[in-house]
Amino acid sequence: MENVLRDAHNRIIRDLRVSLTDRCNFRCFYCLPNGEPPLARKDTILTFEEIAEICEIFVSLGIEKIRLTGGEPLLRRDVEKLIEKIALLKVSGEYLKSQIPNPKSIDLALTTNGFSLKERAEDLKKAGLDRVTISLDSLKRENFQRITGVDKLGEVLEAIKAAQQAGFAPVKINAVIVRGYNETEVVEFARFARENDLSFRFIEFMPLDSGHEWRREMVVSGREIRDRINASFPLKLKETSRGSETAWKYEFADGAKGEIGIIAPVTEMFCGACSRIRLTADGQIRTCLFSTTEHNLRDVLRSGANREEIVEFIRQVVLKKEARHHINDAEFVQPTRTMSFIGG
C-alpha cells in the first residue's frame, strides 16, 4: 500500500489542521460573535499525548504540514510542550512506534489572534515552531474593536513585531475582508505589508459564523481585492500555478518587500486541488471546512485500537472527502459547527 493518503478523487492529503481548543478570547463577528457553550473539557478534548500520537500517525502517512489552530490555540495551557512533542517529528526518523519518511520536510505552524504572542513568541520558536500566522482585520482601533469585539489592536501589532524579532520569517497575516466592515482598508493593509515585510493574506468572507448572518452581498471577491491593491501598488503574480495552496501569491512589481496572498474560496473555488484534512479539538476528523459529517477518531483511539486499525480508519475517512464545497449551490447548508470549533 502506498505511503500517502489519497482520497476518492485522486487528491493526495499533505496538510493536517489541528484545533487545540474551541475557546477564544475574541468575539469576531464572522466567527463567534455571541460565544457558544464550550466543549466539556476532560472527557472530550484530546490530550497533548493523543494529539502528538495522531500527528505522528498522519506524518507516517505522508502529511507534510501541520497547522495548530483553534479557537485561540494559545489559550490551551502549555502549548509549547505540545509543540516540542510534534517538533520531534522533524528531527528524528523514529518517534513513538514508526519510521517517519523524509522527516525534515515537515512544516509546523500556528495560527493565533496574537493576544498573548508578544510574551510567548521566543519560547514558541525555541520549542520548534516553524511559522506563525496572526489575524489582523483592521488597522484602525475602533474598527478593530467593532470586528473582533475587543480593544486589543495595540497588542496584536506588538505581537507581529515580537514574532519577527523571535525569528519567524516571513510572518503571515490573515485578514477576512467583509463589505461594510474593512474593504476600504485593503490598500492600507498592502502598504502595511510593504513597510513591515509581511506575507499578507486576504480571505473572502465564508459562511462559518455562529450568528448565521453571512450574506453573499457581504463577500468582497478576490478579484475586487486584487484590483483595489493593484491600482495603488501594482502586483506581479509569483507563480503561474497555485498547486494545492489556497492562495494566489503576488509580489510588488516595484520590488518592495512583502507578499500579498488572495484566498477566494467563494468566488474562485479551489477544491479540485485541496490537500487538507482537519481534526477538531474533540477529536473529530472533518474532511472539509463545510462538511456536515464528522468522523470520531478520538473514540477509535481511546477504544484500544491498534495502530493498523487507526490507520485503516483514517484511510477510510479520507476516501469520503467531498469533491467540493457547495457554498454556491441553492441547497447549501451551513455547518452546525462554526470556525472556532472546526479550526481554520
Give tens-digit pLDDT for 40-93: 556 789 999 999 999 999 999 999 999 999 889 999 999 999 999 999 887 554
DSSP three-state, residue 259: strand
340: CB partners within 8 A, 6+ apart: 22, 23, 24, 31, 32, 36, 70, 71, 210
Q: Residues 257-315: pLDDT tens digits?
A: 999 999 988 887 767 578 899 999 999 999 887 777 899 999 999 999 999 999 999 99
How far is 322 from 274, CA to CA, in rounded Å? 10
333: CB partners within 8 A, 6+ apart: 292, 326
5-342: CATH class: alpha beta
- Among residues 56, 53, 62, 60, the alpha carbon closest in space to that of 13 is found at 62
How far is 318 from 323, CA to CA, in rounded Å? 11
How far is 167 from 162, CA to CA, in rounded Å? 9
**What residue ranges do the domains of the chain occupy?**
5-342
Q: Residues 1-55: pLDDT tens digits?
A: 568 899 999 999 999 999 999 889 998 888 875 666 566 556 789 999 999 999 9
For residue 219, give the DSSP letter.
Answer: B
> What CA–CA distances, in Å, run from 9 to 12, 272, 315, 324?
9, 9, 13, 10
Using pLDDT thresholds of 50, 70 and 90, give the confidence band for residue 213: confident
How far is 27 from 112, CA to CA, in rounded Å? 14
**pLDDT for 162:** 98
Phi, psi of 248 (to 5 degrees): -80, 130
